[in-house]
């Protein structure tokens, strides 16, 4: 049986602030990735095809997920629980 150490209020607040900053950074990175993706040739070609919405939504979702996971796990050995 392991003993658990309780976190102080200051430690809890610091953890909460750190998580908030990570999520904000992930959101900003996703927004930047979306803007960058819109300038690529693949996006411009996809815009002119009949199935553009399906492809763009799928590509955007994948890109956003990858960026968010990388931002949340940056510097940690293990993924953080949301």
Residue pLDDT, tens place only, 12-64: 999 999 999 999 988 888 888 887 777 777 767 666 666 555 566 676 677 77
Sequence length of the chain is 82
Boundaries of every domain in the chain:
51-75
- pLDDT category, 66, cuts 50, 70, 90? confident
Which pLDDT does position 76 carry in this prediction?
52
In this prediction the pTM is: 0.42
The contacts of residue 31 (CB under 8 Å, 6+ apart) are none
Task: Provide, for the chain, the percentages of residues in helix, strand and coil under a 3-state DSSP scheme, each rounded to the nearest 5.
Answer: 70, 0, 30
Token representation of residue 39: 């300038």
Other C-beta atoms within 10 Å of 68: how many? 19
What's the CA gap between 26 and 72, in Å, rounded? 7
């Amino acid at each position: 049986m392991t003993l658990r150490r309780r976190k102080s209020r200051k430690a809890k607040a610091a953890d909460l602030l750190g998580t908030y900053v990570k999520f904000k950074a992930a959101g900003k990175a996703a927004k930047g990735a979306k803007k960058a993706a819109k300038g690529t040739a693949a996006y411009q070609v996809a815009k002119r095809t009949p199935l553009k919405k399906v492809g763009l939504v799928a590509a955007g979702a994948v890109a956003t997920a990858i960026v968010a996971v990388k931002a949340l796990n940056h510097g940690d050995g293990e993924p953080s629980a949301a």
